[in-house]
Amino acid sequence: MLRETIERFRQAHLRIAEALGTADESLLEPAALYAHLKAVRADIVSHFREKDAFYPELSEALQTAGDNAGAQLARIFESNMKIQSAAVQRFFEALDRAAPAQLPQSYQTVASVIRQRLSTEEKAVFPLTVRKEPRRKP
């Protein structure tokens, strides 16, 4: 189950990376940037919401598998990711109220946080889950 979730997340990461790359090209045109972010908003927000639900499940799965150390690490990530996730979702939810002139800078900060997060998950979190997923009974 976790492996399938991770595979879905990996696909979402590719989409989000591409969406951020396209948004980067519109940094000098706030109206175009706004339109692009609005177009990808639903996908990104939905991905972050799914991740919010994923981390507690991950901690529990690792705990159930007897991997106490892994569960401890997952809880550290869970706490940190939850804060980031809330902030990213707030940014997208407030998009319609954002001042156009300030949008590029705000976006760049959010994009940096998203990229950092995806990288951390790819490098550190996903390998934990793949390695530690409890074996299913045949």
Q: Which is nearer to other proteins, 23 or 125 (CB)?
A: 125
Residue in 6, 33, 88, 103 binding other proteins, rule: CB under 8 A: 88
In the bound complex, what is the minimum distance in angstroms from residue 72's beta carbon to other proteins? 6
In the bound complex, what is the minimum distance in angstroms from residue 115's beta carbon to other proteins? 11
Cα 81 from Cα 75, distance rounded (Å):
10
Residue in 90, 100, 130, 134 binding other proteins, rule: CB under 8 A: 90
Residue in 123, 135, 136, 137 binding other proteins, rule: CB under 8 A: 123
Cα 28 from Cα 88, distance rounded (Å):
21
Contact indicator for 77, 55 with CB cutoff of 8 Å: yes
Alpha helices in 65-125 (DSSP H): 68-93, 103-120
The first and second tokens of residue 36, run together, are 């692009």
Contact indicator for 51, 81 with CB cutoff of 8 Å: yes
Cα 130 from Cα 138, distance rounded (Å):
18
Binding mask 38-77 for other proteins (x = CB under 8 A): ------------------------------xxx-xx--xx
Residues that bind other proteins (CB under 8 A): 68-70, 72-73, 76-77, 80, 83-84, 86-88, 90-91, 102, 105-106, 108-110, 112-113, 116, 120, 123-125, 127-128
